[in-house]
Structure 1
């Protein structure tokens, strides 16, 4: 984007994993800004409740919902175009749905780790396929892939989770390379410790409350950078430090 040139307003925003945590928080923030929303999550009743809340607070917006499990690639492929048709298109797609459980590798709980990898990697891949196909047809759009600071280094206990988010960094970068010059922006956001249900077992000394984390996340998404750490302080310098620290030190920190 050239200096002095304003970014387009992304009026129609699709958010996955919208029924709780960061997704629910983003829905409230974007609704307050007058954006139309397409909300996706597995838990339909929670989506219905959220829709009522949003319309009560911001009656001038449109809110479409769909109960979709992102593990079901076929449901994602069918559901995203249906939501886009309901709103007349999608300007921004926030691939936020994911899970954060996990166990040390080799500790006898492989199914838990496999579920993390399937949902976070293959589920996000399905979302990106649907979003980018839609954006290619439109000739514009903004794809946001929600990764994690846990993707920066291999971390004990959260090994499968960190690996899944590292895969998303590469997925987003590959999509960005494919789309250079196509009028479609791709942003990777890496949240640190934010007090949500998803990371209840991985909260560290720099944990921020949900409202603070959501505010920082929405502000970063609106800037549309290539990559953003959320909140920027302290996670940008912490991430840089994590990349060079010896593994025994990283082990103690995580």
Structure 2
């Protein structure tokens, strides 16, 4: 397994980003963390240095919808650490409602944040990796990428399907090079995006889900569904299940 010492995570101030940062800190990785809320990043930085005082933790505020800012912050993190070994494209959101019900702006915001801004992050990361001729790009998609979903999930699922497809294209582009590309599809993991949802099948706590995500990332396989049970099997079932069954999941 390749050792990835210097890891950049976007959307790191809470939820899955924070959980992954904690797990990587336990493993002795240096971290470059960015998110919109600097106060939460500062608190996380202090927490991580308690978890592992031997690591370096750099933080910067970043709204990934500021696409020029994405390139600038990634480059500055590279200067901080000397090299970026892994970039985790994690920042995202889940606003939205059924199409045609008056929530176009919310749906548009999710579409831009989860896809166009993910593209900006991938572009910035891959430019650095190509110059280094090494690195590991990780995109955080979703189990919802495998099918369409209704209501608030409609645009969210579509953006994650787009992210999965884009990640596969990037991987094909650098196949057989020292640059590796992984797309992680979390199942239902408790986080800020779904904290108000009461009944979700197979949902796990944030720490359990994040440990599974980090384990999958470290294996550097092309595609991962986590936690492995039940999603490594269930994603195949979801692909062929009738729409009426998928409808009940959202």
TM-score interval (norm. to shorter): over 0.9
Out of 71, 88, 92, the residue aligned to residue 86 of structure 2 is 92
How many equivalent residue pairs? 248
Q: TM-score by structure 2 length?
A: 0.97
Q: Secondary structure at the match of 1:253?
A: coil
- Write out the 4+ residue segments of structure 1 that deviate beyond 3 Å after TM superposition: none
Q: CA deviation at 1:114?
A: 0.4
The reply to whether residue 159 of structure 1 matches residue 154 of structure 2 is yes
TM-score, normalised relative to structure 1: 0.95
1:187 aligned to which of 175, 182, 199: 182
Counterpart in 1 of 2:69? 75
Are residue 217 (structure 1) and residue 213 (structure 2) matched?
A: yes
Residue 113 of structure 2 is matched in structure 1 by: 119
1:128-207 equivalences under 5 Å are 128-157=122-151, 158-201=153-196, 204-207=200-203
| Displacement after TM superposition at 1:238 (Å) | 1.4
Partner residue of 1:232? 228
| Partner secondary structure for residue 248 of structure 2 | helix
CA RMSD of aligned residues (A): 1.0
Deviation, structure 1 residue 208: 0.5
Matched residue of 2:9: which SS? strand
Q: Tell me the distance in 2 between the aligned counterparts of 1:172 and 1:201.
A: 29
Distance 1:11 1:88 in 2: 11
For structure 1, the residue ranges without an aligned partner over 5 or more in a row are 1-6
SS of structure 2 residue aligned to 1:64 = strand
Once the two structures are TM-superposed, the CA of residue 85 in structure 1 deviates from its matched residue by 0.6
State the distance in 1 between where 2:193 and 2:229 align: 21
